[in-house]
Structure 1
Amino acid sequence: MHRLRTFVRRRDGNVAMIVAGGMAMLTGTAVIGIDTASMFLEKRRLQGVADAAALAAAQDPANATARAQVAVALSPDNGTRMVNLTPGHFERDQSVTVDARFVAGTASANAAQVTVESQLRPFFAQIFGTQQVAIAAQATAARIDLAAFSIGTRLASAQGRMPGALLSQLAGSDLSLSVMDYNALASGQVDLLKTIELLRTGPGVRAAAFGEVLTSDITLPQLAIAMAGATTSNSAAATLRTLSTKLPSRSIRLASILDLGPLADRTSADPQRPIRADAYAILREAVQIGTGNRQIQSDIDLGIAGIGRTRLWLQIGERPANSPWLSIGQAGRTAVRSAQMRLWIDIALLNAPLSLGSVRVPIYVELAEAEARLASIACVGGSGNSAVSLDVTPSLGRAAIADLDPTLLGNFQQAMALRPARMVTLPLATLTGFADIKLGGTAAQRVTFSRAEIDGDVVKSVATNDIAAGIAGSLLRNVDIRANVLGIGLSGGLLTTTLGNTLTVAAPALDLVVGQVGALAGVHLGQADVRVDGVRCGAPMLVR
C-alpha cells in the first residue's frame, strides 16, 4: 500500500507521456487532414468534369450522351466515368423552386443532368483497411433558346386617308399622317430592344433593367423619339420625330403589349441580334393602350376605283389579360393573341346602272381572338440555321351584309342584332339584301419560319378556310336580295338581277376595302397573321 501511494505521488516522466499522447493525436489529425484534403480536391476536380459534361450535353441535346462522354474522356484518368445522364427540360420560372425547374424527359429537351464518379485511393486510410473511396458529382446545364413573335402584323397596301384617319382617331388628335408617311412607318423596321434601351437611359425614366422600363410610365412622344433612334430607315425616323410633336402626352405602360421574357433582365441591346417590328404596328398598339380610345368613326375617301363615299365604324375590344401583341420566350409556354374587333363599313358604289341609282353595301365583320403559340425553336448548328415553329389558331367570327345600330358595337358581351340592309332606294321600289356567314372552329395549325424568312420579315397567314375568294365574294354568293315594288315584296325580277350583277362586279373592290381596314387594325376575318421577329440560340449554362 505504501509503495502504491508513493507511485501515485511521483511526477517523473509526465512530460514524456504527454508528448507521446500528443504526437499520436497530431499524427492522427495529419492522417485525417491529408486524406480529407485529397478527397476535397478530387471532389472539386470531379465537379469540373461534371460541369463540362453537362454543358456539352446541353449544347446538343440530340447527341447528349456522346457529347458528354467526350468531355469525360478528356479528364485525367482516375477511374472517372459517367454513371448517369438524364435529358430534360429546364424552365427559368421564378415562381418554381430551383429544384423543380428541371423536368426529366426527352420531349422538347433543352437541358441535361449528368452524374460522374471516380475512385480515390487514400494515403493513410489504407492502414485501416480502406483501399478506395468512391466520389460522385452532379451538374445540370441548359440551353435557353428564345424567339420573338407577333400577331396581326400584315402590312396593308394603303390608299387614300385610311392610315392617317385610323391612327389619328385612336390618338384623339390630328396626326396628319399621309400615305407616304404610313409607307415609311410600315416598311421601317424598329429594333424593340434598342428602343427600350433608349427609353431606359432617357429623361424621366428610372429603370435598371428592360423589364422595369416596360412597367414604367412612358409618354407617347417619348416612345416615338426612342423608336426614331432605333431604326435604320431615315424616312421612318423622320416621320416618327414629326409624330412625336403631334402625339398626345399620355403615359403608357408597354408591359401590356410587350413581353420580353428572359430578356427582361437585360440592360443593353445587342445590335447583332435585334428584335424587329414595323414602326406602324408598334405605334398603333401603343396608341390604343395610351388613349384608351378603341373606337373609330369616320367618312373616308379610300381612293379605290368604283368605291365612293365610305362610312366606317371600327370597335376594337380589350386585349386579353396577359396576352401581349409581341412576346419573347421559350418554346412551349409563350403565346400572343389579337384583340376582338367589330367593323361596320357602309360603302357606296360608283357607276351603278341607271335603273338602280345609288347602291350601298353595308358589310359587318365580327372577329374573336386569334392566337399563336411558340411551338419549337430548332438551333441546329447555331443561329445561322435556326428555325421557329408556331401553332396558330385563326380568329373565328362572322361576316354579314346587314344594317345594325352602330352605337351597340362596343358591347362585346351582347350579340349584334342584324337586319336586312336597304341597298337601293328608288321612287317606287326598294331593294334589300342580307347575308350572314359564320366561321366554324378550327384546330391550331403549325407554321414554320426558316432563318431566311425570319431575316426577311416574312408574314405568314393561317386561315379557317371557311371563306373563299374574299369576304365580299363569299357574302355575295349567299346574299338574299329582295325587291319591294309599290309595297309588294318580290324575290326575283329585273331589279334583283341587276343588283346581283352589280355586286358581283364590285366584289373585288369591296374585298379591298375590308382587307385594307382589317390589315391596318391588325386583325383579319378567319385569319391570323404571324411573324417571327427574332431568334436567339442560347449558349449552354449551368443551372444547378
Structure 2
Amino acid sequence: MSPRFQCKQRGAIGLMAVGVLAVVLAFTLLVVDTGRLYLEKRKLQGVADTAALEAVSRNGTCLAGLSAATYAGQSVARNHFVVGNGNTLVTQCGAVTTAASGQRTFSANPALSSAIQVVASKTVTTSVAGGIWSLFSGNSVSLNTVLTATAVAAKPTPTLAQLSIKSTLASVDTANASLLNGLFSGFLGGNVSLTVAGWNGLLNTNISLLSYLDQLAINLGVSAGNYTQLLSTNVTASQLVQAAITVLTANGATADVLTALGNLKVAAISQAPLTLGKILQLQTGTTAAALNANLQVFQLIQGVVQLSSNQSAASATLPVSVLGLANITTQIKVIEPPQLSAIGDPALAVANPLGPNAIYVRTAQVRTQVTVSLPVLNSLSGLTTAVNNLVGPLTPVLSGLLSLNLVTTINSTLCLLGAGCQQLDLLVLPGNLPLNIVLDAGGASSYVTAYSCPTGSAGTKSVTAHTTTSLASLNVGNITHAFSSTQPMSVAPMPLVDLGIQTCHKILGIGSCDPRVPFGAGGIAIQVQSNIAGSNSIQDLVFSSTTPFATPPNVGLASTYQAAAPATNLVSGLSTALNGVSITAYQPSGGNPLGALAPTVVALLGSVSAIVTPVVDNLLAPLLNPILNNLLNMLGISLANVNVGANLTCGQTGEAYLVI
C-alpha cells in the first residue's frame, strides 16, 4: 500500500478514536450524573424512612399534642435535611389496608394513627440527560429537578378481640312492625310509624363503627380520634340517629333505610342527655384500627332507643291494642341499657374478666308492668265466686263463738255485754285496688375469659366467652315504685278479703258508728315474688379454629356467632312461678275479740290456695305469654336464646416497621 493511503488511514483512526472517546466521556458523564441523582434519591429515601419510623415509634398522631409532623421534622433535621429553599416535608396519618392481592395501600385519615406517611422532596440540579431529553421533546429545559421519597411506617398490629351480642330477630312482619312502632314511640316520646320494609331495611343494613364514631365526633365538635372523650360526651338520641343518617347516605343506603331513620330522628323528641359509652365499650387506649368493624343498624338504633328509655324518668305506656289485651295497661322501662359491642386487648381482659378492661357485652334489662283494673278482675269467671267461697269455712267458726256469749253472723251486729256493738263487715277485693304484675327480664351477658393465638404454624386461634342467658323474675300483688329511680320497688300483698269491723253505739235510741277498721278482724291477700325457674343458663362459648364454622375472624370482618344453650323448661318454670302464689292472712287488730278467728284463718290457707291459685293462674298466663314471646324479643331479649359473636386479630411483635 502506498504511503499516501497509509497516512489517510492513520487520520481516520484518529478521528474514530476521538469519536469513541467523546462517546465514552458522554456515557461517563451520564453515569456520573445519573449516579448523583440516584445517590440523592437514595439518601432522601433514607431520610423519609427514618422520619416515618420515628414518628410511629414515638406514638405520634395528627391530633393536637403528640404531633407526628413534629417528630418527623426533628428526625430529618438530625439527618441534615433542611426544610426550605426547595426542600419540603409532608406528614400524614392514616391506616394501611391490604387488598386480596396482597398489595398495601395507605389511606390518609387525620383521626387515625396506626400508620404514618412521610413525603420528603428535595430540589437538585437537573441531569444532563434530563435536560437533553427535555430539549429534544420540545419542552422547556429546567435547571432544577424535584426528587421525592415516600415512606409509610406502621405499628405492629395489636392483638384485639371483639364480642357482640344481638337479637335473634331475623325479619319483621306486619304484627311485629306494629309492636315495634308502639315500643319505640313510647321510648322516644314521639310517633314512630315505620313500614315493614323500613324495619327490615334496618335489620339488613350494616354500618361501619369507625365511620359512625368519626361522623359523630364531627357533629359534636370532639377532637378527631379522641374516642374516649367521644363516648363520654353528652348527646341526644336525635344526634345519634343523625350521625347514622349521614354515614349511610354517603355509603348509598336504600331509600327505605334512610326514610326509617328520618322518622326515628323526628320521633326522638326527648332531650335527655345520653352517653354512647353506655352501649359501646372500648378499652382505654384502643386504637382506631380496632374500630374497623361493622354493626347492624337495627342493633345500633335499638341500643340508642333503649338507652333513651333508661335515661328518661318516664316509662313507656303501650297502647292497649299492642299486645291484644283490652282494658289492661302495659308499661315498660329499660332498667339497664344493652352493651352491644366491646373491643379491646384480650390479654388485659383475661387478667381481670370483670374489671375495667373487661370485654363485656349484655342485652338490656327490662321491667314490664301489667296493671289489671278491677272491672277486669270482676269479670273474670270464677274469681268472685272463689273469694266468696272463702266465707263458707268461716261460718262454723263464727257460730262457735256463741259459747262466749257472743251473737255473730256475717254482716250482723256483734254485741258485747256492757259495751258497744261491733259489726263484722266483709269486703271482697276491697278498695278497688288494681292487680299489678311486674316481669323483670335481666340482661343476658357474655365476657372474654380466655384466648389463644398460634405461634408460627402451630397453635390454635380461639376466644372463650363466658355466657349467661336471661334471668326472669315475676312479682304479683300491690306494687309501688316499679319505675322509680330513687326508691326500690315495693311488693305488698293484694287484699282479696277484708274482714273489717265497725263499732256502733246506741244511746237513748240514737245510734252512731265509729269509722270502719279495715282488716280489724283479719283478711286474706295474694302475692307472688318468684324467679321463673329454668330461665337462666351458664356456659362457656368457645370460638376456635379447630371447630368447624367457629373460627373467630379478624376484627373488621363479619363476626362468627354462636347461640348459647337455651334456657330450658320456660313453660314449666312459668307454671312453677304461678303456682307459687302466696296466700297471706292479715292478723286482726290488737285486742279485738275477733282475734280468735286468726288461727282458724291460718288453718284454712290450704283450702284457700286450692280455690284461688287456679283462678290467678288463668289470669296471669294469658298476660305473660305475649310479653315473653313477643315484647321482649322485639327488644333483643330472648329468654330462650342469645347469640354471641366473636372476632380475634392475633397481633404482631416487635417495633414500628416500614409497610410501603
TM-score normalised by the chain length of structure 2: 0.46
Residue 286 to residue 215, structure 1, CA distance change in 2 (3 Å): farther
Counterparts of 2:289 and 2:158, CA distance in 1: 18
Q: Tell me, yes or no, if structure 1 residue 500 matches structure 2 residue 525.
A: no
Aligned to 1:62: none
Q: Which residue among 256, 260, 268 is the counterpart of 1:239? A: 260
Please give the per-residue CA displacement for 1:206-254, whole angstroms capped at 9, x wherever unaligned. 4235445434454433322332334856533331123223323845432
Aligned to 2:328: 310
Residue pair 1:153, 1:459 contacting (<8 A) in 2 also: no
Counterparts of 1:459 and 1:188, CA distance in 2: 20
Residue pair 2:241, 2:264 contacting (<8 A) in 1 also: yes
Residue pair 1:356, 1:499 contacting (<8 A) in 2 also: no
Please give the per-residue CA displacement for 1:375-409, whole angstroms capped at 9, x wherever unaligned. 34466699xx965431023455631333312x353
Aligned to 2:121: none
Aligned to 1:164: 181
Amino acid of the residue matched to residue 264 of structure 2?
L
- 1:535 deviates by 1.8
Aligned to 2:477: 402
Counterparts of 1:309 and 1:339, CA distance in 2: 28
- 1:245-264 residue pairs with structure 2 within 5 A? 245-248=266-269, 250=271, 252-261=274-283, 264=286
Q: What is the SS of the residue equivalent to 2:263?
A: helix
Counterparts of 1:202 and 1:411, CA distance in 2: 31
Q: Which residue among 652, 655, 660 is the counterpart of 1:540? A: 652
Aligned to 1:105: none
Residue pair 1:186, 1:281 contacting (<8 A) in 2 also: no
Q: Which moved more, 1:152-161 or 1:365-374?
A: 152-161
Aligned to 1:390: 465
Q: What is the SS of the residue equivalent to 1:308?
A: coil
Amino acid of the residue matched to residue 466 of structure 2?
D
CA RMSD of aligned residues (A): 5.2
Q: What is the SS of the residue equivalent to 1:469?
A: helix
Residue pair 1:472, 1:511 contacting (<8 A) in 2 also: no
Counterparts of 1:357 and 1:418, CA distance in 2: 21
Q: Tell me, yes or no, if structure 1 residue 195 matches structure 2 residue 212.
A: yes
- 1:263-342 residue pairs with structure 2 within 5 A? 264-266=286-288, 270=292, 274-285=293-304, 288-289=307-308, 292-293=311-312, 295-304=314-323, 307-317=325-335, 324-331=339-346, 332=350, 333-337=358-362, 340-342=365-367
Residue pair 2:532, 2:576 contacting (<8 A) in 1 also: no
- 1:442 deviates by 7.9
Residue pair 2:451, 2:464 contacting (<8 A) in 1 also: yes
Q: Tell me, yes or no, if structure 1 residue 510 matches structure 2 residue 624.
A: yes
TM-score normalised by the chain length of structure 1: 0.54
- 1:159-238 residue pairs with structure 2 within 5 A? 159=176, 161-177=178-194, 181-202=198-219, 204-228=221-245, 229-230=247-248, 235-238=256-259
Consecutive unaligned residues of structure 2, counting only runs of 5 or more, are: 1-154, 351-357, 386-428, 498-522, 544-548, 586-596
Amino acid of the residue matched to residue 277 of structure 1?
Q
Residue pair 1:341, 1:366 contacting (<8 A) in 2 also: yes
Q: Which residue among 460, 463, 479 is the counterpart of 2:563? A: 460
Counterparts of 2:206 and 2:495, CA distance in 1: 42
- 1:530 deviates by 4.7
- 1:344 deviates by 1.8
Counterparts of 1:508 and 1:452, CA distance in 2: 43
Aligned length: 383
Q: What is the SS of the residue equivalent to 1:541?
A: coil
Residue 541 to residue 495, structure 1, CA distance change in 2 (3 Å): closer
- 1:362-441 residue pairs with structure 2 within 5 A? 362-366=436-440, 370-377=444-451, 388-394=463-469, 396=471, 398-405=473-480, 407-411=481-485, 414=488, 416-420=490-494, 434-438=527-531
Please give the per-residue CA displacement for 1:442-471, whole angstroms capped at 9, x wherever unaligned. 895202355489847756346675x63266
Counterparts of 2:632 and 2:496, CA distance in 1: 24
Amino acid of the residue matched to residue 173 of structure 1?
G
- 1:196 deviates by 1.6
Counterparts of 1:221 and 1:161, CA distance in 2: 22
Amino acid of the residue matched to residue 368 of structure 2?
L
Please give the per-residue CA displacement for 1:249-294, whole angstroms capped at 9, x wherever unaligned. 8454322321233784327964xxx332342554443662598205
Residue 434 to residue 233, structure 1, CA distance change in 2 (3 Å): farther
Q: What is the SS of the residue equivalent to 2:369?
A: strand
Q: What is the SS of the residue equivalent to 1:223?
A: helix
Q: Tell me, yes or no, if structure 1 residue 519 matches structure 2 residue 633.
A: yes
Please give the per-residue CA displacement for 1:41-91, whole angstroms capped at 9, x wherever unaligned. xxxxxxxxxxxxxxxxxxxxxxxxxxxxxxxxxxxxxxxxxxxxxxxxxxx
- 1:499 deviates by 7.7
Residue pair 2:182, 2:318 contacting (<8 A) in 1 also: no
